[in-house]
Amino acid sequence: STLVNIILNIVGKHNMAGLHTGHLNNQFELYRFRAKTLLSGTDVPGNFLSTPGAKVIKGLTGGDTIEAEGKGLNDGVVLQGIFNILITANERLKVALEGDVDAWGRRLLLLEFSNPPPTKKIDRFADKLVEDEGPAILAWFLRGFRELLADVRETGDIRLPKEQLDKTRNLLAESDSVTHFIKDRVHKVQGHSVTNDEFITLYGEYCAERGWVAVEQARLQ
């Protein structure tokens, strides 16, 4: 939360709109994004990227042209999908891939915060950091932007370390864990069978080996 609040302070809260994937299929919801550059979802639930509207995120970040309507207005606005999106969650997110693994892989950057919280909380910590270290934080932002531009000039994309790419691949594989389990562990053998209970148990063990959250049993069956 501190990092998010620092980013919002630097970017400007007037340039941010809240992101609610459950409403993204609504044209009026998209109208709120006009004149914004950053969309933010704070402490979102685990299904945030697997709701029906979550697929709109690909257009919002992929350069697509999107029409949005305002309530009571005859003319809407045309948005260009060049938004930055910042999401925080206290649980692992599942992505509705819909066969488009590569598209999601190009859009995700994962930052994991696994350390325990500080024993003594500092009130308005992000605001105080910006007040005391604002110029240095802004210089850090600009240095990162310069490095990003160098990446784009040289490769056409952002260069990410292997560790980061592996985290993204793992998240996407977890989102399609049943398919991966079947491909890796289930084989057709003449004269043999597997019961539902055996399948569920083995799938659970497969997910546990990888640190994944298994899909609910009803959906698995």
Rounded to whole angstroms, how far apart are CA atoms 78 and 164?
A: 34
Identify the H or E element spanning 89.
strand 84-89
> Given this model, what pLDDT does residue 144 score?
94
pLDDT at position 59 is 92
Please state, as a whole number, how many other Cβ atoms lie within 10 Å of the Cβ of residue 141: 14
What is the SS3 assignment for 127?
Answer: helix
**In the chain, % of residues over pLDDT 70:** 100
User: Residue 157: helix, strand or coil by DSSP?
Assistant: coil
pTM: 0.83
> Distance between CA 160 and CA 107 in Å, rounded?
12
- Residue 28's pLDDT band, with cuts at 50, 70 and 90, is confident
Name the least confident of 70-79, 80-89, 126-135: 70-79
**Above 90 in pLDDT, residue 69?**
no
